[in-house]
Chain A
């Protein structure tokens, strides 16, 4: 059991989302960075859909009330286990009484904390994700606070080396401070934007503003002009849709997005790149790269291969460690 000693608001229990209820007006919720979430789970030999704690603000402190394995993945935040610095991605065992501290975020935007078997909260409508707007799911349907306890589903854990495991994440951008490239499929209303707007969307960077949360990220950049006389009725939207309201500044709908919207959409971020947005901070720039459906499927395949390769390495290394112990 892990007791939360201190944590800023907005940390929630999330898994890969609550699917199949869109037609009822219920969004999927789920993690903002599916890649880090999956990696944290794989390092503990959890199912990739096991619930983790998504922490978008630090610093935070946790106390291990008993000896337990755990994993962290995502943003670089100067994590420490007692006086020992941890890499941004790490899985290992904490002794009873040890303190895990997450410091200020230096790179990225969210840290994921995984425990053996996943965070033990009730399964509601097929998921353990927190629906903040609706007030259910996750830990009592709310954000986590000091005094809350994170219980793992499993009391035991997989083989872990004494020093722990780590993983190298793909870089967000080409360099630490450079723009983050996001692959996007043109959406149904793309051609109804002015030619100049289409060129601007695909060739100029858009800055993440401070108006960003789990529902969506408001961006700022070249104005995008809708050139159709047709009034759009509200229609279904999904996470990743890039909407353009009347002010011409795009909004990317994300994990807690509404299920319907009436703004025209210029594109849709491919699912394998949504994690990059989840790790983008206000002030950083996004640059949209146009892809087609085949390239999108290839990106999905690459992600699947990367995770499969990581799983295979974990299986082989654990086997070796067990044989040597």
Chain B
């Protein structure tokens, strides 16, 4: 969390300002500095302890958000990358918001399924040829922005 030199600077600042206890918390780490009071001629003694992660008051990890790419119409699913000039998609791939993920076919017509957000494809919920209705989930995405 702090280098040795930075700790020394903190201690000097505490001594100068008369602060005897300092607690710093960042994400999963915490630092508590306690200066033992005494005449300035006495050497300083510092207690520093790293508090465990999960300590009350520590910053919590950001929540992972998910979203879904859904079918915009009725038809059968067709993967991207078969004959459209695009690279096939696969779970684990990063995609941009609005990117083509696949198609819902009605005869020769294909209605495009797009990524609702920028993220990583975490699950594919359908296979080529599956019949889908409007709103059926095609992909799940882990939101990265």
Partners in one complex: yes
Q: Give chain A's interface residues, CB within 8 Å of chain B.
A: 76-78, 83-90, 92, 106-107, 161-169, 171, 306, 309-310, 312-314, 316-317, 320-321, 324
Q: Give chain B's interface residues, CB within 8 Å of chain A.
A: 72-74, 80, 83-86, 96, 98-100, 103, 106-114, 134
Known: A78-B85, A161-B112. A87 touches B107 (CB 8 A): no
Contact present for B96 and A84 (CB under 8 Å): yes
Contact present for A166 and B72 (CB under 8 Å): no
Point out the residues of chain A lying under 8 angstroms from B72, CB to CB: 161-163, 321
Could you say which of A88, A164, A313 contacts B112, with CB atoms under 8 Å apart?
A164
Known: A317-B73, A320-B73. A169 touches B110 (CB 8 A): no
Known: A317-B106, A320-B73. A163 touches B83 (CB 8 A): no
20 contacting pairs across A/B (C-beta < 8 A): A76-B85, A84-B98, A85-B100, A87-B80, A87-B84, A87-B86, A88-B85, A90-B112, A161-B112, A163-B114, A166-B84, A167-B108, A171-B83, A309-B108, A312-B107, A316-B106, A317-B73, A320-B73, A321-B72, A321-B73
Give complex CA distance A98, B55 in Å.
49
Point out the residues of chain B lying under 8 angstroms from A78, CB to CB: 85
Of the listed residues B99, B109, B111, the one surrounded by the most CB atoms of chain A closer than 10 A to its CB is B109
What total count of A-B pairs have CB within 8 Å?
A: 81
CB distance from B77 to the nearest CB of A (A): 13
A87's nearest neighbour on chain B, judged by CB, is: B84
Known: A85-B99, A86-B100, A161-B72. A310 touches B108 (CB 8 A): yes
CB distance from B115 to the nearest CB of A (A): 9
CB distance from A192 to the nearest CB of B (A): 42
